[in-house]
């Protein structure tokens, strides 16, 4: 279909926005983009959208103008203690481990909330530290909140919030850490406010890590619901810079819908109850089956105190038989040296007979290492051995999407739904793919299916194949999509 002049102009404006900010607005978001730009036009001195769009196509935007434009394009939607399983992992595991590792040296902790919006996340991190460190006065704490939206930062620095910012968060947060100002307004208490510094930072324009903006040697880095707006080229660059901003063994947190083995391949993924958090670590990726394993493509061997008797699987990791007797088929030949183990793996292959759960874990392991072709091969072999394995069709769909084979991915996820019509993640994925392809009616249908299926689930139920996503949080994700699609 031939574009009209307005559509052509809007496409050009999108290119300007991408070039100056790295933000990506697909065609299905153009209605929203037009509304936001119409509101921005007045602040730039234009009465009509067409005049403003024409100016954007010819103007060279200054840094301050980019900040103003960003305040209309980025969504400042957040609340305290968002994704509670993440904060539970933080207070129960991540922070205690970090604190213990630093008690004998310099007592300092550096945290960065990138894309902090109006500050709820940064203050939540301060509250988490305050609750976890009894002698916090003896520690040097740096919590940095950055955003490209200057209006959001003004509210963050003010530290005054309405009841909406406390939705879905524990009641003790408002009771213990805020002063009630009346009229539904609450102000963060001074000792928490002093722990956080806010500043303007554009992930596509500013340099990081850097001493000048305090984005170096970070222990914990939150960047949630931010990266999804950027183009693929910028995503690769930004994720690499964020990786280098972290200390060794530092922690990196993205939202559950942003988890990607391809994009964050340099991190190790660590599973917590209801959450997955990345770590900058040399440790091997731990699948849901914890324990030693061997990857024949790397110079990592089984622990020296483990019996060298091994089980072999074509091109895949080897699990220690003493620890996983129920999922492996043990070869009787004893292997004495690590060098022999390498040679044995390359020359002698004994096929494995494994339950679906074990095959799924090996597929995830390979995919998270970027070995997508091998993961797809194993996935197909697993499906050949069990035609009713819904989770393998779902995994195959995810791998095919990563490989850019969207139509094949859709076919595979539809097979999963055929086997299990109540498979919520299957409907959710089809909704996202339809949305990306501009098939809005189909997207609304699939998201509505998800909503209806969620109505039968307890709020805290963890959805199968969702990487720890609860029914309650899934509902938060899809309801805005349904509302927007209904209006279009």
- pLDDT, one tens digit per residue, over 231-249 is 888 888 999 999 999 999 9
- Cα separation, 246 vs 51, in Å, equals 44
Distance CA(182)–CA(179), nearest Å, equals 9
- Tell me the per-residue pLDDT of 394-415, one tens digit each, with 9 for 90 and over: 889 888 887 778 888 888 899 8
* pLDDT tens-digit readout, 89-136: 999 999 999 999 998 888 999 999 999 999 999 999 999 999 999 999
The structure's pTM equals 0.57
pLDDT of residue 373: 82
pLDDT of res. 320: 29
pLDDT at 148 over 70: yes
Q: What is the mean pLDDT of residues 3-12?
A: 68
Which of 245, 244, 222, 242 has the alpha carbon at shortest distance from 234? 242
Q: What is the pLDDT of residue 308?
A: 29
Exposed / middle / buried, residue 373 (Cβ in 10 Å: 0-12, 13-18, 19+): exposed
Is the distance from CB of 114 to CB of 157 less than 8 angstroms? Answer: no
Residue by residue, what is the 3-state secondary structure of 358-419? HHHHHHHHHHHCCCHHHHHHHHHHHHHHCCCCHHHHHHHHHHHHHCCCHHHHHHHHHHHHHH
Higher pLDDT, 119 or 30: 119
> Quick check: bond before 255 cis, omega within 30?
no
pLDDT band at 78 (very low <50, low <70, confident <90, very high): confident
Dihedral sign, Cα of residue 440, residue 442, residue 444, residue 450: negative
CB 317 within 8 A of CB 354: no
Residues 272 and 276: their CA atoms lie apart, in Å, by 6
Q: Which domains does the chain have, with CATH numbers?
A: 5-73 (no CATH), 84-279 (3.40.50.150)
More confident residue, 337 or 85: 85
């Amino acid at each position: 279909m031939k574009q009209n002049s307005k559509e052509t102009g809007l496409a050009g404006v999108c290119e300007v926005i991408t070039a100056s900010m790295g933000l990506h607005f697909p065609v299905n978001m153009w209605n929203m983009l037009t509304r936001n730009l119409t509101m921005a036009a007045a602040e730039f001195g234009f009465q009509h959208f067409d005049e403003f769009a024409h100016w954007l196509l010819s103007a060279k935007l200054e840094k301050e103008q980019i900040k103003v434009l960003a305040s209309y394009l980025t969504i400042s939607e957040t609340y305290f203690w968002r994704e509670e399983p993440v904060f539970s992992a933080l207070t129960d595991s991540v922070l205690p481990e970090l604190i213990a590792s630093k008690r004998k040296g310099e007592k300092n902790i550096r945290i960065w909330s990138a894309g902090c919006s109006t500050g709820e996340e940064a203050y939540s991190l301060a509250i988490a530290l305050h609750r976890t460190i009894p002698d916090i006065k003896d520690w040097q704490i740096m919590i940095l909140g950055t955003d490209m939206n200057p209006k959001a930062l003004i509210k963050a620095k003010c530290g005054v919030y309405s009841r909406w910012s406390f939705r879905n968060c524990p009641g003790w947060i408002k009771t213990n850490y805020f002063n009630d100002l009346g009229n539904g307004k609450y102000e963060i208490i001074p000792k928490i406010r002093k722990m956080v510094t806010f500043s303007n930072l554009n992930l596509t324009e500013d340099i990081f890590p850097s001493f000048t903006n305090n984005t170096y040697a970070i222990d914990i880095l939150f960047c949630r619901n931010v990266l999804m707006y950027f183009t693929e080229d910028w995503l690769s660059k930004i994720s690499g810079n964020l990786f280098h901003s972290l200390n060794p063994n530092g922690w990196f947190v993205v939202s559950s819908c942003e988890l990607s083995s391809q994009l964050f391949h340099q991190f190790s993924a660590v599973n917590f109850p209801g959450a997955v958090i990345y770590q900058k670590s040399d440790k091997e990726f731990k699948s849901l089956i914890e324990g030693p394993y061997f990857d024949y493509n790397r110079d990592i061997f089984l622990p020296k105190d483990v019996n060298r008797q091994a089980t072999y699987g074509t091109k895949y990791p080897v699990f220690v038989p003493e620890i996983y007797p129920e999922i492996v088929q043990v070869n009787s030949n004893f292997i004495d040296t690590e060098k022999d183990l390498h040679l044995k793996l390359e020359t002698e292959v004994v096929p494995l007979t494994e339950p679906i759960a074990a095959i799924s874990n090996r597929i995830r392991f390979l995919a998270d290492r970027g070995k997508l072709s091998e993961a797809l091969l194993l996935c197909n072999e697993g499906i050949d051995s069990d035609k009713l394995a819904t989770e393998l069709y779902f995994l195959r769909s995810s791998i095919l999407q990563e490989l850019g084979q969207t139509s094949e991915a859709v076919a595979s996820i539809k097979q999963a739904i055929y086997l299990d019509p109540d498979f919520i993640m299957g409907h959710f994925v089809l909704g996202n793919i339809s949305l990306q392809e501009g098939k809005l009616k189909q997207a609304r249908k699939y998201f509505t299916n998800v909503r209806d299926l969620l109505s039968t689930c307890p709020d805290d139920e963890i959805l199968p194949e969702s990487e720890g996503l609860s029914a309650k949080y899934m509902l938060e994700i899809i309801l805005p999509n349904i509302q927007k699609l209904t209006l279009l």
